[in-house]
Amino acid sequence: MLFGLLRNSGILDFFINIISPITNLLNIPSEIMPLALLRPISGSASIVVGTDIMQTYGVDSKIGLITSTIMGSTETTLYIIAIYTSVVGIRKTRFVLLAALIADFVGMLISVAFWHFLS
């Protein structure tokens, strides 16, 4: 539902167009950008996006391999931070959020670099 809303409204394409100069410089395929943007926010939306990418490009394609690696190496950051910090009682999550988003970004970059190197 979230993915359909963002795709049909054009917001997802808007954000992808804004960051496309950076992603082109880093040689990140634009086909995985919806997954990269939604993975930290929503697990169910990222599963829908990942499934859509796999159906479109195939599971053995470079895009499919990058997608599956991103799905396995990153997490739904906002949900995990909310659950873990509330259980422990941490109130100031500003730096936790920054560190987690950096880790997601690095995981995505490494996934892309790994499959560019192997193929």
In tens digits, the chain (119 residues) has pLDDT values of: 777 888 888 888 899 999 999 999 989 999 999 999 999 988 888 999 999 999 999 999 999 999 999 999 888 898 888 898 889 988 888 788 899 999 999 999 999 999 999 87
Residues in CB range of 1: below 8 A, 6 or more apart: 45
d(CA 75, CA 96): 14
Q: What share of the chain is helix, strand, coil (3-state, %, to 5)?
A: 80, 0, 20
pLDDT of residue 95: 87
